[in-house]
Chains A and B, each alone.
Chain A
Amino acid sequence: MYQTLRQIARIGIRTESTPAAADDVVVQRLHADILRVLGRALTLRHVDAGSCNACELESQALSNPYYNVEGLGIRYVASPRHADALMVTGPVTKNMAVALRRTYDAMPEPKLVIAIGACAIGRGVYGPNYATIGAVSELLPVDVTIPGCPPSPTALLQGILAAIAAQPAKR
């Protein structure tokens, strides 16, 4: 226990300041109602719809002490019924389409959809393919897209912040 406390004391707090919401993140739809309901607190549900797992690694990194998304009021939740926003990665495989649709349907209104990475935005390296549907927007209404292969945690954070801060006039 002494060693554990010593390590905690020695490393200290490493959390960095929050990046500004990105300009290059494309916000497709703006939901005044969501902003009114959520403020800056946001719960996220993540669905991998066929990604290579690089987007997952970077999404997980958001929880590390440097980015500390929980400190910003942003939490990943285990159930879609608790989620405000759905983060989707991958070229949407046909094998995952039903599960993705059901996850979205289980979320309460109002809800946001964030497409993460080149594949979710437009198939990426996997291209036209018998096994994929393609962009997430083919299946669900996408609010925000975050480009990258994979997007860095900073880019992810900027995208998420853009999603909730896009319309400051309505706050």
Chain B
Amino acid sequence: MNVTPLGLLAAPLLAGVPAQRAQASSGQLLTACRLAWENGGRLVALWASDERDRGRGYCLRVVVEDWEGLTVLEHTLPDDRARYPDLSPIFPAALRMQRATYDLLGIAAESDDPRAWLWTASHATRQFPLRRDVASGEAAPDHDAYAFVRVEGEGVHEIPVGPVHAGIIEPGHFRFQVVGEKVLRLEERLGYTHKGVESRFASMSVDDGAKLVGRISGDSTVAYAWAYAQAVESAVGFVPPARARWLRALCLERERLANHLGDIGAIGNDAGFAFGLAQFSRLREDVLRMNEAAFGHRLMMDAVIPGGVARDIAFEHVHAMIDEADRVARQIASLREIYDEHAGVQDRFRNCGRAAPDLARHLGLVGLAGRASGQARDIRCDFASAPYDLLDVRIATQTAGDVWARVAVRFDEALESTRLIRLVATALLDPVTAGPVHAPGPALPPDRLSLGYVEGWRGPVLVALEMGDDERIRRCRPQDPSWCNWPVIEHAIVGNIVPDFPLINKSFNLSYSGHDL
């Protein structure tokens, strides 16, 4: 995005993708966001840091993405009485990020929603956990006081669901306003898995941070670890060994494949097709067992580390992965036919939980769900970094925006991942790619913001990193795509029936932990 006409001075930013940063006044912040929106841009992240110890008050950072790359807009607030402009009229997804920023840091937008989002305890005590001078109090959150918006009228009633759910899933609360079976309104209440990840990062070493970042959302551990490694490496312009980059892509595609297989089965099950769950959970288990054999961990936690990868894989496993990719691809293709021809499954999938492309664009739907609603963005294609620049990833898109479309995109992407796994594994057998898989990078200098940006299976994962003076992390902000996508479910469910909610929710399959932090 060219911000010069707005009077902003853009400087290049250290990141794994093209990126720039610019200081903006509150007026410029609004204008820049509006310009980004008009140019097809989307909101990626919004967070703030306490910079009072450096005499700079609080620093709000807003990351927007357009076709040219990322732009980080920085806005300084002199103290906690100052307000920054409410960005939710431009980017609706900003609202919850703004509320969370107040919960954790005590600086507020000029917004009219004062309700706590992640951490209610700080509102009464004014002990904001991300402030550098916070006293560690024994604050206890008060959940019963949350004011849900209610619908009133004849025959309208309310159904509270959660935070403990029937299945083995993460905790969250859903408040339905219904007439008969029909949903008039859904309001989500998240934050139950808020475990203070951001404050935990402060003063961690780079290596300890790598362990923590891999456990922000367990299903996306590779995506987070890679984004973090990218942020660490780009801060000092360090390029990891070529073989490590191939192995990272192998891990990321295996993670995508495993999650898509699990989801396609589980979504089938939610539509009453237990056969699908049995078949796809078997395939997923095969992939995880191969991960265990090759990387020593079923989910590949701690496989990607700053400087490269933790270990090389044996040639026998590379060969086995090529065979596995072919086998899984054949199975996916024949099971897809069964899904497509099953009248009952198709009846549940079609027109269910629809987020039309214009709604998706307006609300800023990202990642896999975005691609199912006509938002054709994929970091692996748009800002392909090594080795994706050699792989020519085929983006999968649909425009129906319903459960069917999200399943179709998963089928396409799972197949594409098997193709990529085959390509990457073949490249790993080539003597040209032989070599070390890890190299220690130089120590990180303080006060230097850097970004990592990786297309995880769910969507774009951003990690922003800034080091302190003592080679310890000063601030690390991981941003899950779920922040942008959770609000869309509230819209996609309207007009559907309550029993379709589990199906719709699973078709988005958003992270609670990655969002609650």
Given the known interface contacts A58-B298, A130-B139, the answer about A52 and B218 at a Cβ–Cβ threshold of 8 Å is: yes
Q: CA A127 – CA B292 in complex, angstroms? A: 26
Looking at chain B's contact residues, the main secondary structure is: loop
Task: Say if the beta carbon of A17 comes within 8 Å of chain B.
Answer: no
Q: CA A48 – CA B299 in complex, angstroms? A: 18
Contact A96 B129 (CB under 8 A): no
Q: CA A90 – CA B196 in complex, angstroms? A: 13
Q: CA A103 – CA B192 in complex, angstroms? A: 15
Contact with A along B277-296 (1 / 0, CB 8 A): 01101101100100010000
Q: CA A90 – CA B170 in complex, angstroms? A: 10
Task: Say if the beta carbon of B154 comes within 8 Å of chain A.
Answer: no
State which of B141, B341, B511 has its C-beta within 8 Å of the C-beta of A94: B141
Interface range on chain A: under 10, 10 to 19, 20 to 34, or 35 or more?
Answer: 35 or more
Task: Give, as a whole number of angstroms, the nearest-CB distance from A98 to chain B.
Answer: 7
Nearest residue, chain A, Cβ from B286:
A66
Interface stretch of the complex, out of B9-17, B54-62, B86-94, B159-167: B159-167
Q: CA A65 – CA B280 in complex, angstroms? A: 10
Interface centre among A11, A53, A80, A96 (most CB of B within 10 A): A53
Given the known interface contacts A3-B337, A14-B282, A150-B299, the answer about A99 and B163 at a Cβ–Cβ threshold of 8 Å is: yes
Contact B168 A126 (CB under 8 A): no
State which of B195, B211, B335, B511 has its C-beta within 8 Å of the C-beta of A93: B195
Q: CA A78 – CA B168 in complex, angstroms? A: 9
Task: Say if the beta carbon of B200 comes within 8 Å of chain A.
Answer: yes
Contact A127 B200 (CB under 8 A): yes
Task: Give, as a whole number of angstroms, the nearest-CB distance from B297 to chain A.
Answer: 9
Task: Say if the beta carbon of B171 comes within 8 Å of chain A.
Answer: yes
Nearest residue, chain B, Cβ from A132:
B195
Task: Give, as a whole number of angstroms, the nearest-CB distance from B282 to chain A.
Answer: 5
Nearest residue, chain A, Cβ from B517:
A131
Task: Say if the beta carbon of A169 comes within 8 Å of chain B.
Answer: no
Task: Say if the beta carbon of B136 comes within 8 Å of chain A.
Answer: yes
A50 contacts across to B, CB distance below 8 A: 192-195, 513, 516
Task: Give, as a whole number of angstroms, the nearest-CB distance from A78 to chain B.
Answer: 4
Task: Say if the beta carbon of B432 comes within 8 Å of chain A.
Answer: no
Contact B513 A63 (CB under 8 A): no
Contact B194 A57 (CB under 8 A): no
Contact B288 A61 (CB under 8 A): yes
State which of B218, B221, B337 has its C-beta within 8 Å of the C-beta of A55: B218
B141 contacts across to A, CB distance below 8 A: 94-95
Interface range on chain B: under 10, 10 to 19, 20 to 34, or 35 or more?
Answer: 35 or more
Task: Give, as a whole number of angstroms, the nearest-CB distance from A148 to chain B.
Answer: 10
Task: Give, as a whole number of angstroms, the nearest-CB distance from A127 to chain B.
Answer: 6
B335 contacts across to A, CB distance below 8 A: 7
Task: Say if the beta carbon of A158 comes within 8 Å of chain B.
Answer: no
A59 contacts across to B, CB distance below 8 A: 168
Nearest residue, chain B, Cβ from A91:
B195
Contact with B along A65-99 (1 / 0, CB 8 A): 11000000000101110000000001101111011
Given the known interface contacts A7-B334, A99-B164, the answer about A53 and B513 at a Cβ–Cβ threshold of 8 Å is: yes
A76 contacts across to B, CB distance below 8 A: 167-168
Given the known interface contacts A54-B219, A78-B166, the answer about A126 and B197 at a Cβ–Cβ threshold of 8 Å is: yes
Question: Top 5 closest A-B pairs, CB basis?
Answer: A54-B218, A78-B166, A64-B281, A131-B196, A129-B196
Contact B215 A124 (CB under 8 A): yes
Q: CA A78 – CA B192 in complex, angstroms? A: 19
Task: Give, as a whole number of angstroms, the nearest-CB distance from A60 to chain B.
Answer: 5
B194 contacts across to A, CB distance below 8 A: 50, 93, 95, 131
Nearest residue, chain B, Cβ from A150:
B218
Task: Say if the beta carbon of B191 comes within 8 Å of chain A.
Answer: yes
Q: A93-B195, A94-B139 are in contact. List 13 more A-B contacts (CB 8 A).
A: A4-B275, A8-B275, A47-B171, A48-B512, A49-B171, A51-B513, A53-B511, A64-B284, A65-B285, A80-B164, A124-B215, A129-B200, A130-B129
State which of A3, A64, A79, A127 has its C-beta within 8 Å of the C-beta of B341: A3
A52 contacts across to B, CB distance below 8 A: 215-218, 513
Task: Give, as a whole number of angstroms, the nearest-CB distance from A74 to chain B.
Answer: 13
Q: CA A124 – CA B163 in complex, angstroms? A: 22
State which of B143, B215, B511 has its C-beta within 8 Å of the C-beta of A98: B143
Given the known interface contacts A64-B285, A76-B168, A99-B192, the answer about A94 and B140 at a Cβ–Cβ threshold of 8 Å is: yes
Task: Give, as a whole number of angstroms, the nearest-CB distance from A3 to chain B.
Answer: 5
B337 contacts across to A, CB distance below 8 A: 3
A9 contacts across to B, CB distance below 8 A: none
Contact with A along B379-421 (1 / 0, CB 8 A): 0000000000000000000000000000000000000000000
Q: CA A111 – CA B363 in complex, angstroms? A: 46
Task: Give, as a whole number of angstroms, the nearest-CB distance from B128 to chain A.
Answer: 10
Nearest residue, chain A, Cβ from B171:
A48
Contact B219 A130 (CB under 8 A): no
Q: CA A152 – CA B141 in complex, angstroms? A: 33
Q: CA A69 – CA B275 in complex, angstroms? A: 17
Q: CA A94 – CA B192 in complex, angstroms? A: 8
Given the known interface contacts A8-B275, A52-B215, A78-B166, the answer about A63 and B281 at a Cβ–Cβ threshold of 8 Å is: yes
Contact A95 B191 (CB under 8 A): yes
Task: Say if the beta carbon of B303 comes within 8 Å of chain A.
Answer: no
Q: CA A130 – CA B136 in complex, angstroms? A: 7
A96 contacts across to B, CB distance below 8 A: 163, 171, 192-193
Interface residues of A in 129-145 (CB under 8 A from B): 129-132
